[in-house]
Amino acid sequence: MEKKTVTILLGSPRKDGNTETIAKALAKGAEENGCEVRTLRLQGKKLNGCMDCRHCWATGAPCVQKDDMGEVHEAIAAADVIVFASPLYFYSWSAQIKPVWDRLLPFYAENSKIDVRGKKAVLISAAGDTEPECFGGLKESFRLACGYTQWEIAGEIYALGLYPKDAAANEGQKYIEEAYELGKRL
C-alpha cells in the first residue's frame, strides 16, 4: 500500500514555539505509523491574500499571483492529510496561515483542474488563554471551512494556557501526548 502523505502547515512566526512543538509530536506519531510527513514553515514565505480576480487557472497554474503559494498548493494537492498548526491570534488564525484558506479558491472554481475534495484535515492551535471558549471562533471557522472544502476532520487539538514559547514543552505534555496519539491514528 502506498504511504499516506501528511502535510503540516506551520502558521506561527515562532520557530520551536507551542504549535510547532505539538505538531512535531503529531509528525512523530504519523511517521511511526508509516506516513510520509512534509512540513512547511509559512513564516518567511510570500503568501498574498486572494485578489478575487476570478482568473484562477488562467495561466495553467491554480493562481495568477507569483508568490510562494504555488508550493503550498502543490503540497495540499499531494497530501492525504493537511495539518493546520496555528497559534490563536485575536481569537482566530495567524496572518501567516489565513491566506492558505483564502487561496484554496482555485481548487473550488468551476474550471478547477485538481480535485482536492475528500482529504483529511487536522487543526492544532495554542492559546495563552485558559478558557476553552477562546477557541470558539477558530473552531467554527475550521469546521465550516472543512464542510465547504469537503475535508474530513481527522482531529482537533486546542491547547490552552500556553503563552511563553516553551510552554508546550514544559506544561503542555498532555497536548504533546494527544498529538502523538493522533499522529499514530492518521
Ligand X SMILES: Cc1cc2nc3c(=O)[nH]c(=O)nc-3n(C[C@H](O)[C@H](O)[C@H](O)COP(=O)(O)O)c2cc1C
CA distances from 92 to 17, 46, 144 (A): 17, 20, 14
In terms of CB distance, is 76 or 127 closer to ligand X?
127
For the bound state, the minimum distance from the C-beta of residue 31 to ligand X, rounded and expressed in Å, comes to 21
Collect all residues with Cβ–Cβ distance below 8 Å to 54 and sequence separation of at least 6.
Answer: none
In terms of CB distance, is 12 or 65 closer to ligand X?
12
In terms of CB distance, is 57 or 91 closer to ligand X?
91
List residues binding ligand X (CB under 6 A).
12, 14, 17-20, 87-91, 126-129, 134, 162-163, 165
For the bound state, the minimum distance from the C-beta of residue 23 to ligand X, rounded and expressed in Å, comes to 9
Residue nearest to ligand X (CB): 17
For the bound state, the minimum distance from the C-beta of residue 169 to ligand X, rounded and expressed in Å, comes to 10
Cell 464542510 locates to 147
For the bound state, the minimum distance from the C-beta of residue 15 to ligand X, rounded and expressed in Å, comes to 9
In terms of CB distance, is 18 or 149 closer to ligand X?
18
For the bound state, the minimum distance from the C-beta of residue 173 to ligand X, rounded and expressed in Å, comes to 15
Return the closest-CA partner of residue 9 out of 37, 51, 46: 37
